Amino acid sequence: MARKKIRKADIERRTKETDVRVKLDLDGVGRNKINTPIGFFNHLLSSFARHGFFNLEVFAKGDLEIDEHHTVEDLGIVLGEAVSKALGDRSGINRFGYTLIPMDEALARVVIDLSGRPFLVYEAEISQKKRWEFNVNLVEEFFRAFVDKAGVTLHVKLEYGKDYHHALEAIFKAFGRAMAQAVAMNPRVRSVPSTKGTL
């Protein structure tokens, strides 16, 4: 009987700007412990883990006296590195994931290819009618850092949504579900799902 792959990673990144650690289990049940200084981003990462069924622990400190940019970007870097390490050579996975998720008046679409080629398409027009508690423009920076380190092609599209909280939560739930599909092991895939023989 074939031995089950252990698809986990524990990654740390320390710079003069941030201190970030991510522990990830791709074959979890959605347990998560998210501890960053950005409350709303904790909520988004928790939604990603819960709806992707990933066990995820995140710890981050950053130079918030400047702004949230370095912390959010470095979270994307470290999560991307953790996903790449946990996937290993990517043999036996589905590779592709697609999800459309509603959150009240918002609807988000996320499509993923664990291709080994980093590419991001991010289309999300967020209303500015109310004061944001979180800089929504940083979400694109998070995803850009993530795809660069994870080696994935990621398309994110907010179809519509008026409330920034609902819009971003729908995006992160869809991100989790699409990732869950893509990383799932498929017994019909005998090696790496690519005509090249590598990802």
Helix (H, G, I), strand (E, B) or coil at 33: strand
Task: Report residue 177's pLDDT band, with 50, 70 and 90 as the boundaries.
Answer: very high
Q: Does residue 173 fall inside a structural domain?
A: yes
Task: Report residue 100's pLDDT band, with 50, 70 and 90 as the boundaries.
Answer: very high
Domain count, the chain: 1
Asked if 98 contacts 181 with a C-beta cutoff of 8 angstroms, the reply is yes
Q: Does residue 26 fall inside a structural domain?
A: yes
Q: Does residue 2 fall inside a structural domain?
A: no
pLDDT of residue 43: 96
Cα–Cα distance measured from residue 119 to residue 105, given in angstroms and rounded to the nearest whole number: 28
- pTM for the full model? 0.93
Q: Could you give the C-alpha distances from 47 to 56, 119, 196, in angstroms and in order?
A: 11, 23, 34
Q: Does residue 23 fall inside a structural domain?
A: yes
Q: In the predicted model, what is the mean pLDDT of the chain?
A: 92
Task: Report residue 15's pLDDT band, with 50, 70 and 90 as the boundaries.
Answer: very high
132: domain CATH number? 3.30.230.40
Domain extent at residue 28: 8-183
pLDDT of residue 188: 82
**End-to-end C-alpha distance for the chain, whole angstroms:** 26
Question: How confident is the model over 28-54, as a mean pLDDT?
Answer: 97
Q: Does residue 199 fall inside a structural domain?
A: no
How confident is the model over 123-158, as pLDDT tens digits? 999 876 556 678 899 999 999 999 999 999 999 999
Q: Does residue 198 fall inside a structural domain?
A: no
Cα–Cα distance measured from residue 187 to residue 185, given in angstroms and rounded to the nearest whole number: 7
pLDDT of residue 1: 40
Helices (H), the chain: 39-52, 69-87, 138-150, 164-183
Question: How confident is the model over 89-114, as a mean pLDDT?
Answer: 96
Q: Does residue 188 fall inside a structural domain?
A: no
Here the tokens at position 11 are: 């990654």
Question: How confident is the model over 114-121, as a mean pLDDT?
Answer: 96
